[in-house]
């Protein structure tokens, strides 16, 4: 823990890494002088904060309170509802997006922590009319039933394919461990990812 203050996300809190209660997006650690941010960090909130980030290749600026998750900002402020709020606690992967190319459960990240980063949602995965190979394979192999988990599944699968992590059935299953499908469509999903990886 730093000498003065730390930034915490909801994920940090659940992991037990955060030792103090959330106040805005910057919290004082033990012994820190109250109300003063350490060098290199700025205190934000508790009122609305301007958040500028790249969203699906375009610059986006929104104003949200520091308590707002990236998922809620995307769905309720920006109007992109592809990422789904299912468990809202990091357990299902339905809200998966990419932040700087890495998969993130957007229900577990504060929108203010996305400032200056590149956010990609399912709405930004295709290049115009050209679907990502994982999207094409999902269609070909009928890798969905109700479709509620599908946006998050595809974002995780596309990341693993792009990053060369879909080496075999076992590695695909490992990479998908954080994405749950209540309809049990897993065999079709695994087959789709295997084909996209080829």
- Write out the residues near ligand FES by the rule CB under 6 A: 85-88, 90-95, 105, 107, 144-150, 181-183, 185
Largest CA distance in the chain: 59
CB of 145 to ligand FES, least distance (A): 4
Mapping DSSP to helix (H, G, I), strand (E, B) and coil, where does residue 84 land?
Answer: coil
CB of 34 to ligand FES, least distance (A): 33
- % helix, strand, coil for the chain, step of 5: 35, 20, 50
CB of 148 to ligand FES, least distance (A): 5
What DSSP string describes 168-179? SHHHHHHHTTT-
- Our measurement of the distance from residue 22's CA atom to the centroid of its chain's CA atoms, rounded to an integer in Å, reads 20
Is the Cβ of residue 56 or residue 145 nearer to ligand FES in the bound state?
A: 145
Is the Cβ of residue 6 or residue 110 nearer to ligand FES in the bound state?
A: 110
Is the Cβ of residue 122 or residue 181 nearer to ligand FES in the bound state?
A: 181
With beta carbons less than 8 A apart as the criterion, state whether 175 and 165 touch: yes
Is the Cβ of residue 51 or residue 108 nearer to ligand FES in the bound state?
A: 108
Q: How far apart are CA 151 and CA 132, in angstroms?
A: 12
CB of 152 to ligand FES, least distance (A): 8
């Amino acid at each position: 823990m730093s000498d003065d203050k730390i930034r915490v996300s909801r994920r940090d809190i659940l992991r037990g890494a955060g030792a103090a209660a959330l106040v805005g997006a910057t919290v004082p650690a033990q012994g820190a002088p109250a109300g003063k941010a350490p060098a290199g960090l700025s205190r934000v909130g508790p009122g609305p904060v301007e958040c500028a980030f790249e969203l699906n290749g375009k610059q986006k600026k929104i104003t949200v309170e520091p308590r707002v998750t990236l998922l809620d900002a995307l769905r309720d402020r920006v109007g992109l509802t592809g990422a789904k709020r299912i468990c809202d606690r990091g357990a299902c992967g339905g809200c998966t997006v990419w932040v700087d190319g890495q998969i993130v459960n957007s229900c577990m990240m504060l929108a203010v922590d996305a400032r200056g980063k590149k956010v990609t949602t399912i709405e930004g995965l295709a290049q115009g009319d050209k679907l990502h190979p994982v999207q094409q394979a999902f269609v070909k192999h009928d890798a969905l039933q109700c479709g509620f988990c599908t946006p998050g599944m595809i974002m995780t699968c596309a990341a693993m394919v792009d990053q060369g992590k879909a080496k075999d059935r076992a590695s695909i299953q490992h990479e998908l461990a954080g994405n749950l499908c209540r309809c049990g469509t897993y065999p079709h999903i695994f087959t789709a990812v295997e084909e996209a990886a080829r």
